Structure formats: C-alpha cells, structure tokens
Amino acid sequence: MALKKLKWITTLVGLMMIVAFTSACGIKSDITIGTQTYTETKIIAEIYKALIEDQTDLKVDIIPDLASSSLVINAMKKNDVQMSTLYTGEIFNNHFPISGTKDRAEVLKEAQEGFQEYFGFTWMNPLGFENTYAFTVRRDLAETNGYTKISDVKKDMANMKLGVDTTWLERSTDGYPAFSKAYDIKFGQIFPMEISLVYSAVANEQVDIVLAYSTDSRLKAYELQTLQDDKQFFPPYDASPVLRSDLLKEHPEIQDAIAPIVGKLDADTMISLNYQVDIEKKSEREVAIAYLKEQGLLKS
C-alpha cells in the first residue's frame, strides 16, 4: 500500500511539473520533449532540439527531470509531451502483452509494434547504444587477466569480491540467483551497496567486480571496463527516439531532421558526452551543440 501511495505521489508531482512548465512558457512550442532525470536523456533531448530547430521551422521546448519513463509515457499519452528517448527494455514493464524474449532485434520489434498499437507512438530505430546493467572491472585487471566477457571471470570467481546494488541481489527473475544459475558463477564475497558507490569501490580496489550502468560517466572517470554479457542474461535496453505518431504525420520533417544521429551514437560516445556534463560540469545544451558541430550536422 505504501509503495502504491509513493508511486501515486511521484506521478502527481511529475504532472504538476508539466503543468507548471507549460503554463510558464507563454508562447506554445510546436514540440515538447520530455526527459527522465538522468543526464543522457537531457543531452539527447538537446540534440533533438538543435537538429529540429536547425533544419525545420518548428520550435522545441524541453521538460527535464520527469521522475521515470512511465511518467514520460503518460505525459506523451496526454499530449503534454510529444517526444522522448525511451529504451527497448521498457516493454518488460507490463505495458502490453510480450513474448518475453531477450533477443535484441525481437525486443526492438515488439517495442515498435506494441507502442504503435497500444499508444499511437512511433518508436524509431535505436540511436546506437544501450543503457543496461553491465558487469564492470578495472581496466588494468581486465588487461592482466584477459577479461572481455562475463564468462571470462568464472576461472577466478572464488577469489573475487563483488560489489552490487542491494536490490539486485533479491530480485528473483533477473537478480543474482538467476544470474548465478545462467552463468554458473558464484563469487567468493558479495558486498551489497548503493549503486552510486560501486564505481569508486571497484576503482579503489575495495572490490574486484561490480554491477554498473553501461553508459555511466564514472566508467570513464575511474577507467573501468564493462564486460560483454555473452549469455544475454540482461534484457536489451537500446535507446530510441519515440514520438507521437500524429505529430510525425503532421510534421514528417522531424524524422528527417533527427535521422543523421540514428544508429550513430555508440556507447563510448554517450559515456564521453555524459562525462562532459557530470564530471566537467558543462551544460547539456553546450555538450549537445559541440557534438553536432563536431559531426558537421548543423547547417547554422
């Protein structure tokens, strides 16, 4: 009951933010982009905005810091927001019936077909990276021991200390018990901690391996290396532009404007862009514009 109440309060606060933002803007924009709270969605929104305003006559606003992807989706359903960045693994959050496959291409197909059928959203092809759980080690340890994929650590697992998000240890379907069974890996010691602490913990050699997020800027800051999920245990979370289909029907030029970045933003690029905001303290817009100019994608 308490969890349901918390979710309701979070949704209410998010909707109040949208109302306050749209009321304060005065002149209505042609497109409003909603972002989640994390950095990369804000950078990508600025990239969309810059491309659309550079190559069309449309005006774009951004509403940042919506508490969750589900809130972004609800805002798009209400037409308070018309565009966002969502991740293919979103289909596992009970929006509509799915097959349960973890095949990357099939998950994308189900996202594209399901969100069109049930929500009237056009889910474009991925930008080129995914943000998902990733087992991570220090780069020097990976080079010394030849670690490139998760299976490579099995030979050393008994002597390895794992630092991991506390909640992940307890999840039945995609947590540690299921992972251990899928990979036949049991680490020697496990240290539960907040996920924000795993990066410094592995960098400072307090643990040997951690479960992190695959595009977090701290991977670069601490010189960490992610390991390939060679048994495809984690669902794919490919980032894609998502728009209301009625908007795209009215303004097909939007798709042409953002097409140059579809398939072009790989994980290393996204980590670098996140790093510039999170660590170097540049603004999301500054980083987005610099990236687009570097790629020669802006006319003006």
Task: Indicate if the pLDDT at residue 2 is higher than 80.
Answer: no
Helix H, strand E, coil C: the string for 216-281 is CCHHHHCCEEECECCCCCCCCCEEEEEEEHHHHHHCCHHHHHHHHHCCCCCHHHHHHHHHHHHCCC
Mean pLDDT of 144-149: 98
Tens of pLDDT, residue by residue over 41-78, are: 999 999 999 999 999 999 999 999 998 899 999 999 99
- Say what the pLDDT of residue 18 is: 52
Asked if residue 230 lies in contact with residue 151, where contact means CB atoms within 8 angstroms, the answer is yes
What is the bridge-based pairing of β-strands 161-165 and 224-226? unpaired
Q: Three-class SS of residue 293? A: helix
Mean pLDDT of 7-31: 54
Task: Indicate if the pLDDT at residue 22 is higher than 80.
Answer: no
Output the pTM of the full model: 0.89
Mean pLDDT of 215-231: 97
Reported confidence tier of residue 125, pLDDT bands at 50, 70, 90: very high
- Say what the pLDDT of residue 4 is: 44
Q: Angle 2-24/69-77 helices, nearest 10 degrees?
A: 50
Mean pLDDT of 142-157: 98
- Say what the pLDDT of residue 95 is: 96
Choice among 92-96, 124-128, 172-176, 201-205 with the minimum mean pLDDT: 172-176
Measured CA to CA, the distance from residue 51 to residue 44 in angstroms comes to 11
Compare 22 and 112 and report the one with higher pLDDT.
112
Tens of pLDDT, residue by residue over 234-291, are: 999 999 999 999 999 999 999 999 999 999 999 999 999 999 999 999 999 999 999 9
Task: Indicate if the pLDDT at residue 6 is higher than 70.
Answer: no
- Say what the pLDDT of residue 77 is: 98
